Structures are given as structure tokens and as C-alpha cells.
Structure 1
């Protein structure tokens, strides 16, 4: 069973399905993992495109009006004015935070709870003066050491964080990640990337779902992954599993164009 890294999934154990958002992970009662474990505080302006979404997920500013996140963070494609995006700060309580309401959600059309885990949140008003995060359009940056960041839990079962945390995690090959000692074939090799330490200790967690995994490219930061799922947080032999952005880059760019972004 896939254990999404959304904050909503954590709440599912305490709230009946009738009172929950139609998030598929929450409906299934999956335990979810929230924030960066083993991380340190990010500096103001270090990752300006980081976004916190009010449903308990992360995201990255793809364009002035679009936030790239995970499909499992949203219920469906369609008009949606209920999501608030917060960005421009590392402290979610800062008076200088920028907020925008959503007006539309686009969920990957192939998403059925197994792969295709990406989505867009369209903002009602553009964000100006904030850098966006380019996506990887080839596999050139899909190995090496990556950076993850988020406001999710800093330990398994922990609480959402006020301050943005960051950490570095190494690439784990598909063969290793799908081995019997790790995920035993659950990872979709063509469209997912694993990253983390064999010994554990550093990972994304509940509340980090939808946030970016990124690394330095030829001209700055490039997004290579989207926080998707994992078994617990920072456990040995259980690296984080991320949507492989390069695999979906054409579909992502096409969707962005159709949404006006």
C-alpha cells in the first residue's frame, strides 16, 4: 500500500471520511508522512519558489499563476476556490508572507492512485517578483544528490513545521529501490525516482507531499521530482519515492499552456 506524504492522511485516523476532503489517501485511511526529517532551516530567499498549500501539501511555483504539486493532494480536475497558497517566506507566520487563492485544479488525467502523481493549482491572481522553478525536461539531472524542502513533519508522526526545512538526499537506483530489502517492486521505475540513505535519518515526511525535489542544473535550480510516497519517514532501507518530473515534462508543459501558464 502506498503511504502518501500528505498531512490529510494523518488526520484520516482521527476524523471520519464524511468530514474529510475527498483526497484519495485520506479516504483510504493511509498513514501519511509530513515534513523534512533530519533537515536544517532554510534561509529567507534561498528557495523562493517553495509553496505551502492549505490542504496540507507543498508545491513549487511553476509560473506566476501555477503551482506544481502532487495529484494525490487534490480530489479532481475542475474549478476550485478553496485552496490558499502561501509563499515568499520561510516562516509561515511571517507578516510578509504572500497568499493567493486558487481558482482551478488540474490533476494528471492518468492518475488512479498508482503513478501519474502530479497536478497544477492555478492561482486566481499572479504572483509577481517571486522566482519560479524550472522543471527537468530530460533525464540529465535525474541522478546525483538532490535537495528537498518543506514544512512537513521533522519526525515520523510529528507535527507540521512553522519554518521551512531543507535537506540533501542521494539518488537510489531503480534496481536497488525495487529490491526485496526496500520496496519489493512497488516503485514504477519509468516514472518515479527514489532518494535517501540506506541507513535512513533524512527524508521527506507527512505534509511534504507535492513539494519539489531539485538540484543544480546548468543555469541554477531544476526540479527533478515531486514528493509522492514512502514507508514511514526516514526509516532504514525505505527512501522517499518521488514523481520523476522529466518523464512527465511534455505533459506538464502542455497542461501549463492550456491553463494559461
Structure 2
């Protein structure tokens, strides 16, 4: 789990590549303006590892509707564990973990310096569409959240991973924090990029960075 200086989250896909959301980025190309903070829960900790970005690759065809993933090539590798991504849809169910340094309530616009995490259950597309209708790109997006609300990702959590354990008990990333209406509202799930749908595209893009 890493923090990005523009106020988004991300996860180490490789030691020198971060997987995050396209909507956090200004576009593809050489980019040395992002500071990636890793290795700590508290962003103010003196143990924080800070590395600059070198290059950004935004999902091909991204236009603000689906395809919300991007990769950041780092100036140097970060020697921390990487998070494997799901390559099949089999883990796109159950209970997921979300984490980030974003707002702890809707409209706060402050974020937090200490990493927080929570659990949210999978929400089927047909249930999610009761609120979002055709705004949900079913093939490319996953919904998760409590019907009663109260727990959710929020502004500042964008790009961070949604993950769970695979059958071998290892953590696997199934989603990227993408969008939603407000934060933690009842009957309004969070919407996440469905990582397994883009796994081969992500692998190809990372290899070419």
C-alpha cells in the first residue's frame, strides 16, 4: 500500500511499479512530479520511504467511464512486498478489505495521516444498478459496501487496492478504488475497477514501462 502526493492511494504491483486509478493521473508519459510514500501507516513517520515517479501509463482508451487504472514507474525500486492481482473473476465475491488515507467522512476534505482499513461485502451488479443504473460499467467495475452504509472508501482513497485472501491464504487485489456517489451512504455501494478484467492489459503495460 502506498500513498501518492496528489492525494490518492496505490499498491506495489512490482517493486518499481505502482497500480493506481487513471482518474488520479493527468495522462500518460514521463512524469517526475509524483512522490510515492511507502512502508509506513503514518505518513509523518520518519521511517517513510519516499520515491519519485518516473513515468505514468494510463489505461488505453480511458475517458472517465470505466477502464479506471494506471501504472506509475518509480525512479527506483521499493523493497517492500508487492500485491498480486487477480487474473480470474473467482475472487470477485465475498468480503473485501479496503484501505487508504482518505477522508473519514463525506465532505471532510482533510484526509488522514494514519492508514485506515475496513471490510466491505461484495454487491452484485444488479443490486448496484438499483442506484447507479447505466452509469455502472458492469464488465469493468465491481461494487462493494454495506446496504446500511456507514463504511466506505471516500475522497483521497482513490487508486488504493481492494483486496482479499485467495484460496492459498495470500492477499490478492481484486479492485481499485474508483468512484461512487458520496461516501458510506445507505444503499449506495462504492464502485471499484474490476482488476481481473484488466489483468493481462496491466501486465502488458507494466512490462513495457
Is 1:214 aligned with 2:163?
A: yes
More strand by share: 2
Match of 1:156 among 83, 106, 112: 106
User: Structure 2-normalised TM-score?
Assistant: 0.98
Distance 2:26 2:85 in 1: 24
Q: How big is the shift at 1:229?
A: 0.2
User: Structure 1-normalised TM-score?
Assistant: 0.78
Match of 1:63 among 14, 24, 39: 14
Could you tell me which runs of 5 or more consecutive residues in structure 2 were left unpaired when the two chains were aligned: none
Where does 1:1-261 land on structure 2 (aligned, <5 Å)?
50-128=1-79, 130-158=80-108, 159-179=110-130, 182-219=131-168, 220-259=170-209
Q: C-alpha root-mean-square deviation of aligned residues, in Å?
A: 0.6
SS at match of 1:183: helix
Q: How big is the shift at 1:184?
A: 2.0
Distance 2:128 2:167 in 1: 28
SS at match of 1:184: helix
Q: How big is the shift at 1:175?
A: 0.5
- Residues 47-72 of structure 1 show CA distances to partners (whole Å, capped at 9, x for unaligned) of xxx10000110000111110000000
Distance 1:224 1:231 in 2: 21
Q: How big is the shift at 1:185?
A: 2.4
Distance 1:195 1:125 in 2: 34
Distance 2:206 2:32 in 1: 18
Distance 2:205 2:99 in 1: 25
How many equivalent pairs are there? 207
Q: How big is the shift at 1:152?
A: 0.2
